[in-house]
Amino acid sequence: MGGAGYNKSGRGARIEQISRDVRVYVVGGGSEEILSDLAVREEIKNLHDTQRAAQKEGAKI
């Protein structure tokens, strides 16, 4: 589609509208990749904390 993909009228109007609508779903406050990485690291940390607590209580994981 080339440049026609981002025109506000004509053949690319629908694609331009979709690209504007999709921006609503972007996580604000930083790059999505950075925030995703942070979320995964926090979940892994929480999992390790839970495993340690369970091992102290004698549970086998």
Whether the model pTM is above 0.75: no
State the average pLDDT for the chain. Answer: 77
pLDDT band at 4, cuts 50/70/90?
Answer: very low
The C-alpha atoms of residue 13 and residue 7 are separated, in whole angstroms, by 6
pLDDT of residue 49: 93
Q: Could you give the CA distance from residue 52 to residue 36 in angstroms, rounded to a whole number?
A: 24
